[in-house]
Structure 1
Amino acid sequence: MSRQPPEQQAPPVQRVRVRYAKRGRLRFTSHRDFSRAFERAVFRARVPMAYSSGFNPHPRISYAGAAPTGSASEAEYLELALARVVEPDDIHRDLDEALPDGLDVLRVVDAATAGGTSLADLLQASRWTIDAAVEAGALADAVAGFLAEDSVLVERMTKKGLRELDCRAAVVALTADGTRLDLVLRHTVPAVRPDDVLGGVCRVAGLEPGGPALLTRVEQGPLSEADATVGDPFS
């Protein structure tokens, strides 16, 4: 007996892009846990999702540039493919009500306004703040030493084992104000994370942090090399 081919789903009629925040204790949510929570919220909010074809159709949600687990963020992005046209403001309201506190929808726009540019291509860099558990004066001197280096290698444990990364090459701009670092970080492959940069800064200066740092992504979007700023991917 021949197996019936899977049902083919209709193509999406609209795509919308969502900016959301991870705040408070929700910063410890893994990407897998977030995607499950978001799919449940989409169902509760009755967003008219388009679905993939195949034997196990799933809602067409594209995630891009997710922050590392444990970091807070004011600039996370994803794209939804819809089965019918909906006002972005309606999706903003309904999704925000369906998500738990700490996962907050900040803005929703029609993807057609992006002029055909993919969301992933727009997310070229991020601006981070890093609240480090080190002495303020020592941190400023450490940043100066770090920026004077051409290359700073750090090690990170990955699924494929211990890996060595040059964290200096991805840094576009870095300043210290007291115990806070302001960092503009270029998105690279493999990705350099803000905690890699903090580790590199401390390694150059021989510093030992007194505890874990609080990492917060403030902006994510296109990079202006001329003035080392991160733009708005929705503009």
Structure 2
Amino acid sequence: MARVRPGEAANPAPPTVQRIRVRFAKRGRLRFLSHRDVARSVERAVRRSGVPVSHSHGFSPHPRISWNGAAPTGTASEAEYFEIGLTREMEPELVRSALDAVLPDGLDILDAVIAAPPALAERIDASLWEIVLDGVEPAALEAAIAALLAEDTLVVDRLMPSGTRQIDVRAAVVSARVSARVTPHGAAGAGDCAILTAVVRQTTPAVRPDDVLGALDVVAGLKPPVPAKATRMAQGLLDDSGRLADPLGPGRVTTRA
């Protein structure tokens, strides 16, 4: 075995010459994938696609893929992000299409750009969530949201592997609005359906949709009769007007709650 000289890496890999930032969606039944499952699927797709991913040094090299703030297991998302290092330059659209072609339906690569400073984590501090509450009257949800926003703090308990942790939901909720979806009687799924759209700051630990629903139960006794369906619609930096700037670059589409 060759001796490693001081200052040199063991088993050096080709250098990273380009970094690509990618936005992808987690849809349908694949919303139940854990972050680890998603990461494995992407790593497998990178190998199958032939994208020239760079690897770490050493005797057990790993692809240089970095992740940012994964959506909780059981929630869908239209705005998940990762960054991938390449050993040669490629057009971002070629990377997007190559990865999308080999990923399963429900993990869909939506956009890709060349990474530029600042770091991806510095471009994201809030999420826009849509939470569909079947069987809940919009008026009841509006009253519960008004009660939540009237509080200065509202703490819920979350059971974690290390024990119970208290989460201040009110501090994280920036804004919220309620809309309704009405299905005609006689049709499948007929009945009331309230939809909560909320901008939530990414605190530590992150406030999740089920934390928000727990807070509505605490403050107003709101208990959906069936499990809610939550989808992260956007992530980005929150400005003073409530907009979220697209983290893939300046001047791109923004959204607001």
Query: TM > 0.5 between the two?
Result: yes
2:167 is aligned, of 155, 165, 168, to 165
Which structure 2 residues correspond to residues 36-75 of structure 1 after superposition, within 5 A? 36-75=40-79
- State the alpha-carbon separation in 2 of the partners of residues 13 and 219 from structure 1: 29
Deviation per CA, 1:134-168: give whole Å up to 9, x if none: 22221111111110000111111112111111100
Alignment match, 1:119:
120
Which amino acid in the other structure matches residue 202 of structure 2? H
Q: Secondary structure at the match of 1:199?
A: helix
- Rounded to whole Å, the distance in 2 between the matches of 1:30 and 1:4 is 41
Q: Distance in 2 between matches of 1:185 and 1:230?
A: 11
Give aligned pairs, total: 230
> Does residue 92 of the first structure (1) align with residue 99 of the second (2)?
no
CA drift at 1:177? 1.5
Indicate the SS of the match to 1:168.
Answer: helix
Aligned mates of 1:208, 1:105 — CA distance in 2: 35
Map Cα deviations across residues 171-225 of structure 1 (whole Å, 9 max, x no partner). Answer: 111111231101001111121112211210222001222121100000011111x
Gaps of 5+ in 1: none
How far off is 1:50 after superposition?
0.5
Instruction: Work out the CA distance in 2 between the residues paired with 1:170 and 1:180.
Output: 19
**Partner amino acid for 2:81?**
Y
Alignment partner, residue 241 of structure 2: 227
Query: Please, what TM-score do these two structures have when normalized by structure 1?
Result: 0.94
Identity among equivalent positions (%) equals 52
In 2, Cα distance between the equivalents of 1:120 and 1:46? Answer: 27
Alpha-carbon distance between aligned partners in 2 of 1:96 and 1:3, rounded to the nearest angstrom: 40
Structure showing greater Rg: 2
Runs of 4+ in 1 over 4 A off after TM superposition: 2-5
Q: In the TM superposition, what whole-angstrom CA distance separates every residue of 1:3-60 from its partner, at most 9, and x where no partner exists?
A: 9552122320000000000010010010011111111100010010110012200100
Comparing 94-103 with 125-134, which one deviates more in the overlay?
Answer: 125-134
- SS of match in other structure, 2:159: strand
Residue 195 of structure 1 aligns with which residue? 210
The letter for the 1-side match of 2:95 is: I
* In 2, Cα distance between equivalents of 1:163 and 1:137: 31
Partner of 2:171, secondary structure, is coil
Among 176, 179, 183, which residue is 1:177 paired with?
Answer: 179
Tell me whether 143-152 or 186-195 shows the greater mean CA deviation: 186-195
Tell me the TM-score normalized by structure 2. 0.86
Cα deviation code 1:94-124 (max 9, x no counterpart): 111010000000001111xx3x200011111
Structure 1 distance, partners of 2:124, 2:45, is 25
Give the aligned partner of residue 209 of structure 1: 224
Task: Return the match for 1:16 from 15, 20, 33.
Answer: 20
Instruction: Tell me the SS of whatever aligns to 1:197.
Output: helix
Contact 1:184 1:229 in 2 (8 A): no
SS of the equivalent of 1:139 reads: helix
CA distance in 2: counterparts of 1:85 and 1:176, whole angstroms: 45
Asked if 2 retains the 8 angstrom alpha-carbon contact of 1:60 and 1:81, the reply is yes
2:178 maps to a residue whose letter is A
- The question of 1:33 aligning with 2:37 is answered yes
> What SS is found at the alignment partner of 2:231?
strand
| Counterpart residue number, 1:7 | 11
